[in-house]
Every structure is written in C-alpha cells, then in structure tokens.
Chain A
Amino acid sequence: MRVKEKHVNALVIIGLIALPLFALISDEPFTITLATRAVILALAAVGLNIILGMGGLVSFGHALFFGIGGYTMGILAYHAQTYTTLDLGLFATGGTEFMPVIWVVAMVVSAVLAYLIGLLVLRTSGVYFIMITLAFAQMFYYFAISWAQYGGEDGLSIYVRNDFPGLNTLVPIQFFCICFVILCLVLFLKARLQNSPFGLALNAMRQTATRVETVGLNPMKLKLLAFVISGAITGLAGALFADLNRFVSPTMFSWQLSGELIVLIIIGGVGRLMGPVIGACIFVALEHFLSGLTEFWHIYLGLILLGIVLFARGGVIGLLTGKEGAHV
C-alpha cells in the first residue's frame, strides 16, 4: 500500500500529540520524557538536515552545535543558580534561568561559531568536509573534558529546569509542549525556507554548483548561510536537551552523537521535511524497547538499521511512499 508523504507527515504529528496525551491519562510520565527526547533529537536533526539535505554537505560534527547549545544553557543557569558573575572579558553578567533568553543566546552563540567555522570548513567538500567538521567537534569535545571550571568530564548539573513564564517546566507534559511547539515552528520555517529563493538556490547548487554561479549567486555565501541557520537550530536543540536532562556533559560533543543525528535523518529519509522527526521517533522507540529485551540489544539495533539501509532506500518515508526521494 502506497501512501502520500503529506499523510505520513500528518500522522507523525498526530502521533506525537496523541502519545504524550495518552501517557498523561495513563499516568506514564516516562513515556512523555521519551517523547520529549525524540522531539529534541528531531529538532537537532532538522537543523542538520538544512546543510545535509538541502545543501548536500554531510556534517559529521553537528554535535559541536548541540554541545554549544547545551553548555550555553548550563553555564548561564549555573551562574544564575550560584549567584556568581559570568565574566566575558568585555562585560560581566549574572547568568539567567529564563528559557527564552537562554534559547536566544544559545542560537546566537551557535550561529556565530557556525559562521567562523563555516568560513574555514566550507572551502572543502565531500569526504573532506565530513572529516573537517568532525575535527572541529573533536576539538571542542576534548576541550570540554578538561574544562575544570564547568565540571570537565563530569559535566554540569543544573538540578532544576529553567523557567518559562506561566509554566512549570518540571512537569513532563508541560516541558514536552514547549519542545513540541518549537519543533513545529522550526518545521514550518524550514518548509517556508525550502520554497524560498534561498532554498531553491541551495537546491540548485547541490545539484550543479556551476549553474548557480553563472546566474550570479555566490555559492560560498549560500552555503555559509545554510551552515549558520543549521548550526543555530541544532544549538537550540542542545539547549533544550540540556534542560530535559538538567545536565550537560562533554558527551554532547561526541562523534557518536554527530553520527546518531545523521542516522536519524537517514532512517526517516534524506531531504524530507519530516524525515528527521520520523527517524528520531523510531530511533528512540527502538532504543527503549530493545534495551528492555536483552543485554546485547545493540546487535538487534544494528541489524534493524542495516535492514533499513538495504531494503528501505529513501528511509522509512521512502518505503511508505514508494519514492526514494532526494538523495545526496
């Protein structure tokens, strides 16, 4: 049976609303936590998918922005909770526990870093791009491990979630709602972006770089803008992830996490709007159920992933819709 992609998309959104509601009624708060995890990972992967799916550049270092977002939240909240000042050289501030401010700072910091790193890494392409993005993430990973002021490898615990006006963020369903609304907003913006002149130019550039050059667009600028937007969204996801766990640690920078984000996109389907969302839901569900079955559950996870690559080209959406869709 073949279904239309938009029906699949609608189903996913409905499922993501229905599951936590069902969990709320049946008093299963952990299911809500799992759904929140899926939503946040999906958000990070949506960010990655802008440079990967639209731009055709496989970043194997997006954990860098995820970690930056996480540490931004951790550092700001840490200083707010301990009433210490955060000395930034040019000015000093007291940190904050106010979520919207944290999100903005996380996105700005990630965007600035993405701009600076992008200037260097976007000179490369293909496998070199994969590897140089990995290199930058690894540098931050090792730096975070030995950064004793903010916990080093132990990480930094925040203990309580940051504040959002009018909500009690420690109640799982309320925090879920925040994350879900943000994901929907970002998906909406991404859909708009895809059909904007910028999105179309990016798409054209992925297919033939020379074509966009001849019509007078600067591919470097296009790629850089995509990388900055991509980094900012993943950074936002990192800040939310840190709030979900009330904790940040260098593992947020790890190459395994970069890999997982890519895996999420491939499971769902590369270049699909909802690919990362479906991928994240499937991955989190697999992780949860398989780990309950056996100690050696990684074997089964591996086999399932292998099955998806070999027999479901174009990811799960591709399988459902019968179209392989965009490939990089």
Chain B
Amino acid sequence: MSSILVIEQILNGLQFGVMLFLMAAGLTLIFGVMGLINLAHGSLYMIGAFAAAAVAGATGSFFLALVAALVAAAVAGAIVEMVVIRRLYNAAHLDQVLATFALILIFSEGTRWVFGSFPLFLDIPNALSGPVTLPGGIQYPLYRLTLIAIGLAVALGLWLLIERTRIGIQIRAGENDREMIGALGVDISKLYTLVFALGAALAGLAGALVGAIQSVQVGMGEPVLILAFVVIVIGGIGSIRGAFIGALLVGLTDTLGGVFLPEIFKLFMDSGAAQKSGSALASMSIYLLMGMVLIWRPTGLFGARA
C-alpha cells in the first residue's frame, strides 16, 4: 500500500470527520445548554438537504441552495423548539426521547409526502467539481477539500462565538447553571430558541453539503444521527471541543478501519474471507472505540467529571 493512498485515506477520514462535527456540534450545544436529547436532529439534516436540492433545482445556484438549507433548517428548528420542545424542558429525559422520536416520524413521512418517494438531485457546483493535484502527486476532489475547509472554518467560528461573544457567555453560563442566567436577566426562552436554531442550521448545512455528493433521500438523517451521538459521547456531552476531537476520531477510525482492517486480515487468512471479516469488524469499529473510551473515561474525553 503506497503512502499516497494512505494520505488520501487520511484526507477522506478528515473530511468525514468535519462533516460529522457540523452535526455533532449542534447536538452537543443543545444538550449542553438545554439538557435535551434531540433524536430529531437527523431530520433537520434531511430538511437541509431537501431544501438545498429543491432550491438548486429551481435556481441552479449552489450558493442559494446552501442559504436555503441554512434558513429552512433553522426555521424548522425554531418552530420545533417553540411548539414542542419548550414544553419539555422540565419533563423527564424519556419524554424528550419520545417526543423527538415522534418528530422523526412526522418529518420523514412529511418530507416523502411533499417530495415523493424517489431521491432528489443535488450536484456539486461546476466551480468545485473534479479533482485537483496536491503536492506529492495526490489527486483529490476539490469539493472534498472545500468541505474540509468549510468544516474547519465553522469550527473556528463556533469557538469564537462561544469564547468571545455575549451570546457565547450566556451559552456557557447556561451550561453551568441554568437558573443563574435567568436570575441575571437573560431571556432564557429566547436564548434556547436561538441555540436550537443554530444547532439546526449547522445540521441543515451539513445535510446540504453532504447531499451534493450523496443521495438526498428520506431517512438519510438517521444513520448520521447515530454517528453524531457516538461523536458527542466520545468527546464528552456538551463540549464543543470534545465534539470536534470526537468527530475526527470517528471519521478517521471509520474510514481507515474500512480500508486497513481487511488488509491486516489478509496477512493470516485468504483474500475473500479477509474481506468479509475485515469489513464486518470495520463496521463495528467506531462502536468499539466508543465503548473503550467510555470504559476508560465514563463521561467522555472532555466531559464534565461526574
């Protein structure tokens, strides 16, 4: 196996990781600030992708499509927060699980009702299509490099937002002591709606960006949702930094595991069997990773000490 291939696979893992981060960041923020387990986060990802596909189909502009994805997901998130979630902050975790589970059903079939049962078309903009040659002669798709850049930029932006702005202070305060920020005169319900919409927008953005190289279809959000949960649990729930590290770990483990485990297995079994058992183990690898992290540190890498 050549070093070029290894570097390419690391880039792939990185790209997968930063996209997971966009999902996980919203999830972890919402949990950190409001203590809410939002199973419907995957639906917001799907809404972003469908909004982008619809707008791109109508206008032909990828940029407008991204804007539409952000807006649609943020609006959907804000509405969900105001109509449903707000009534559940004082409820048990379990009620939140059931409510957001119900929202998945409504969003998935609602989307199918509006857009039909077949996948939609959403493509990479021409300016970003095709591969570029990196130093060392590596051919790598420009769009995926762009995804890595956008992901890192969003991560930086989020960090600045949380560390350097007034809203960030309120968010951090909210994570530490919910009653306190109310006492300090912050409009909590506004803050909650804002955080929820922000998380939703990030999920919608991820859906639109990833939708361009994947299939925009009903149910696309759930597998990503599970992965995003794995990420925030590894990183420590509520921690943006943890979500970032966790996302990269999961992205790299999943990508490199899928490629190298079968190769390793080939050292001591025949090719076909090595493929089968290697890829079987690879599909379990991120859950193994999560299990090991939690056994080592029961509240994740950057979680608050329980």
Touch A–B, Cβ below 8 Å: yes
Given A263-B98, A298-B108, A302-B109, A125 and B88 contact (CB-CB distance below 8 Å): no
- Chain A residues within 8 Å of B280, by CB: 142-143, 145-147
Chain A, residues 260-294, CB within 8 Å of chain B (1/0): the string is 00110111001000000000000000000000000
Count residues of B near A (Cβ-Cβ below 8 Å).
47
On whether the beta carbons of B95 and A266 are closer than 8 Å, the reply is yes
Interface membership of A83, Cβ < 8 A: no
Contact A302 B102 (CB under 8 A): yes
Query: Is B299 close to A, CB under 8 A?
Result: yes
Chain A CB within 8 A of B79 CB = no
B103 touches A139 (CB 8 A): no
Bound-complex Cα distance A147 to B283 (A): 12
Instruction: Give the docked Cα–Cα distance between A266 and B88 (Å).
Output: 14
Nearest CB of chain B from residue A2's CB, rounded to whole Å: 22
Q: Are A296 and B93 in contact (CB under 8 A)?
A: no
Give A87 to B99 CA distance when docked, in angstroms. Answer: 46
Could you give, for residues 130-163 of chain A, a 1 whenever the CB lies within 8 Å of some chain B CB and a 0 otherwise? Answer: 1110111011001101111000000000000000
> Contact: A310 with B290, CB < 8 Å?
no
Do B84 and A310 touch across chains, with their CB atoms under 8 A apart?
yes
With known contacts A58-B93, A309-B95, A131–B229 Cβ distance under 8 A: yes
A120 B284 Cβ-Cβ under 8 A: no
Taking a contact as CB atoms under 8 Å apart, the answer to whether A309 and B290 are in contact is: no
Given contacts A124-B298, A298-B109, contact A262 B98 (CB under 8 A): yes
Q: If the complex has contacts A124-B294, A302-B106, A303-B102, are A262 and B94 also in contact, measured as CB distance less than 8 A?
A: yes
Counting CB contacts under 8 A, is A220 at the interface? no
CB distance from B242 to the nearest CB of A (A): 12
Per the bound structure, the CA–CA distance linking A308 and B94 in Å amounts to: 12
Contact yes or no, A299 B109, CB < 8 A: yes
A292 to B: closest C-beta gap in Å:
16
| A interface residues, Cβ below 8 angstroms from B | 52, 58, 120-121, 123-128, 130-132, 134-136, 138-139, 142-143, 145-148, 255, 259, 262-263, 265-267, 270, 296-299, 301-306, 308-310, 313, 327-328
29 contacts between A and B (CB under 8 A): A52-B94, A58-B94, A121-B294, A125-B298, A127-B37, A128-B233, A130-B37, A135-B230, A135-B291, A136-B291, A138-B284, A139-B284, A259-B97, A262-B98, A265-B94, A266-B95, A270-B92, A297-B109, A298-B105, A298-B106, A299-B110, A301-B102, A302-B106, A305-B98, A305-B101, A305-B105, A306-B106, A309-B88, A313-B91
